[in-house]
Chains A and B, each alone.
Chain A
Amino acid sequence: MLKSILKLGAAAAFAAALLSSGAAQAKLRVAMITSESGLGDRSFNDMMVEGMKRAEKDFDAEYVVVQPRAVSEFQSAIARAAAQGFDIIVGSSFDMIKPMQEVAKAFPDQKFGLVDVGPDPLGPNIVSTVTKDWEGSFLVGWIAAKTTKTGKIGFVGGKDIPIIHRFFVGYYYGAKMANPATEVFESYSGTFTDPAAGKEYTLALINQGSDINFAVAGATSAGVIDAAKETKTFAIGVDSNQNYMAPGNVLTSMVKRVDNQAYDMVKSVSDGTFKGGEVKYYGLAEDGVAAAMDDNNKGLIADAVLADVDTLKAKILSGEIVVPNYFDLTPGQKEMGTPPMATPPSVANAK
């Protein structure tokens, strides 16, 4: 019985392959490879599918989602997608860099895209993106300073390392621009994986009078949000929309709009502007970052403050505002950004 099923299957597969190759001509075919957490992660994978859905409508494209179960399955998934001849293969996750590069070398005519990775070009047929998280942090810093009742806001970073300082500097700059009198507390829990530590650090900031705390700490962030819920203050989420984690106590989330980044990759193939080896930067002006608004944080931020977002966007686009990137600062520097503003003590007093 099994054998006859197999035989029947092989024949039908051949027919199916013929059919699908015939239909392939009409539409732009896109393969999205998820990271190992897969769909339903309420994070990058889910967000990227949203981008795919929009692209499907706008560019007469057709997308499929392939969900590897483990990092070890990335390369085989990408390679077999490349062998199927999709017009572009889009992925996310740092762990996909190496597998995608390996496959891209073997399929030089295949187009690839990888969202939200580092600034290094990945290969002559791979487009990658960097999210200007410092501009997103600037935005939520602005919103926090406009919303705080105590005039004091906080920051809980995962570790005291440059990549996290970049969030803080943007946050600080935004808060000070919104209201120079705002006090901004800087703290680092020392871990990305310990919600309990996140909670302790946040409660300490709240004791100092901070009523809005920005969590940039991976899984530790859950503790920051938990503390906000317990003390009826606000937390700000990061990377993906975390507003749902404590409705009413998460002021907003600084989201990386990987959906827009993936959408633009499909667009570039559709209109022929795909340029392999390019690294695109996505900031506030490019809609690469945003403050997440949904039913969970409805009414928490004043309309007037939300209206500012468009003004800020326009100013960043025109160059009137340049949000400082921590990596451009030197230790001990006293002023940063355009318009220039005093650096936070952690930079000004550094040696």
Chain B
Amino acid sequence: MSTEALDAAPSFPLAGLVKPLVQPLVAVAIAVLVGGLLVLALGENPIEVYSILVHGSLVGWPNFLVTLQMMSPLLFTGLAVAISFRAGLWNIGAEGQMIMGALAAGIVGYAVDLPTALHIPLALIAAFAGGLAWALLPALLRVWLNLNELVVCLMLNPIALLLSGYVSTHLLKAPGPTNKLPDIADTAALPTFSLYSQVNAGFVIGLVLCLVFAVVNGGTKKGFEWKIMGLNPRFAYYGGIRVPLQAVLVMMLSGGIAGLGGAEQVLGEYRAFYDNFSPGYGFDGIAVAMLANFHPVGVVLAAFLFGALNGGSAVLQMMTGLSKYLVQVLQFIIVLILAAQFSWAFLGSRRKAPPAHAAPAAPKEE
């Protein structure tokens, strides 16, 4: 998928804008069609179901704000995955990094006594550091020992869950029936705007981050280096890019952003660290990043789509009696189609490559 990006020298500017939208739109369209057949099989009217879904996610402030709430964590995890994947680093550990960021924000949020102007930034920095630390381990193992970061990240996810679970059910548990840390102080809370939705200032942070990285990716030397690394790390190395250092940097940024996503949850939505709070935002982030073609602006659009699906889901359940799983199935179909495209392109590139290049390279070693 990403290999095409380089040789695409658009003949006229409009094609350059339209082309990256084609694949995701095809995936979404197929998902909508297959989902429609599914709804039909369940004995409901697909047009009615989709219209309720659209209505329940976009029409009216309450619905729209819930969509923004649902998309907020995905802005962070989607961006985290997108910038690492773009640089050829398979950080699928956004879930664990987000949990560690959330834990750090939750602890700083209640244990520290500061005025708002300092408390929120400190909690955000703690969250960034928490996520960063959790991404640093796979990054270092990658550049020192050439251990596959994909596997290490994957294994660190449940460790983060269990570790934070231990902290929130044993070490620092708040009194009461729920496994959580004590509530954060009001001085650390990110403000919300509506009774209907927990969307909070963290949404704005996520949006700004996406825009910042759109500029970094598209308009700076660093962004270009990361892209080359992702396309061909050996070429990047011979081109004078310090690949291991950049790889660690990208992983740290990626983890830190996922950690900030945890802060959005704890400081804005939950107002305390809850054990096992995430229904899988980190994994949804992978789907969002893939749908976005690893482009930060695409992340905003893809997160909006997933947010709308989940936001409309509750209204769909209220009005039709269909279960929440319908919306999840729609998401999974999108992921499945994207994954199929992805692996098809990957296999295609392997087939085309001459034998000498087909040998698995370990280009990140110096």
Contacts and interface: CB of A to CB of B under 8 A. Distances in A.
Interface of A: 1-2, 5-6, 8-14, 16-17, 20, 31, 36, 38-39, 64-73, 75-77, 79-81, 83-84, 86, 94-95, 102-103, 106, 191-193
A10 B55 contact: yes
A12 B44 CA distance: 14
B324 A38 contact: yes
Given A8-B47, A79-B195, A72 B270 contact: yes
Contact of B314 (A14, A80, A103): A80
Given A65-B321, A69-B324, A11 B195 contact: no
B343 interface: no
A68 B265 CA distance: 15
Give the interface residue-count category, chain B. 35 or more
Nearest to B265: A72
A131 B32 CA distance: 45
B55 to A, nearest CB: 3
Given A36-B279, A79-B196, A80-B66, A13 B318 contact: no
17 contacts: A1-B25, A2-B25, A9-B53, A10-B59, A11-B51, A12-B47, A14-B55, A71-B277, A75-B195, A75-B196, A76-B69, A79-B195, A80-B196, A83-B196, A86-B318, A94-B177, A192-B169
Nearest to B320: A64
Q: Is the interface of B mostly helix, strand, loop or mixed?
A: helix
A70 B279 contact: yes
A64 B321 contact: yes
Given A69-B310, A76-B66, A94-B176, A103 B195 contact: yes
A36 B270 CA distance: 13
Contacts of B48: 12, 16
Interface of B: 25, 28-29, 32, 47-48, 50-56, 59, 62-63, 66, 69-70, 165, 169-170, 176-179, 195-198, 265, 269-270, 274, 277-279, 310, 314-315, 317-321, 323-324
A79 B62 contact: yes
Contact of B195 (A2, A70, A106): A106
B28 A2 contact: yes
Contact of B50 (A9, A75, A86, A192): A9
B51 A8 contact: yes
Given A80-B62, A83-B62, A16 B319 contact: yes
B212 to A, nearest CB: 26
Contact of B198 (A10, A31, A65, A76): A76
Contacts of A103: 195
B317 A13 contact: no
Nearest to B279: A69
A2 B323 CA distance: 24
A20 B316 CA distance: 13
Nearest to A34: B324
B50 A64 contact: no
Given A80-B66, A95-B178, A12 B317 contact: no
A17 B55 contact: yes
Contacts of B198: 72-73, 75-76
Nearest to B175: A161
Contacts of B315: 80
Interface centre among B66, B178, B274, B317 (most CB of A within 10 A): B317
A73 B314 contact: yes
A76 B56 CA distance: 12
A75 B270 CA distance: 11
B314 A68 contact: yes
B277 A76 contact: no
Given A68-B314, A80-B66, A13 B323 contact: no
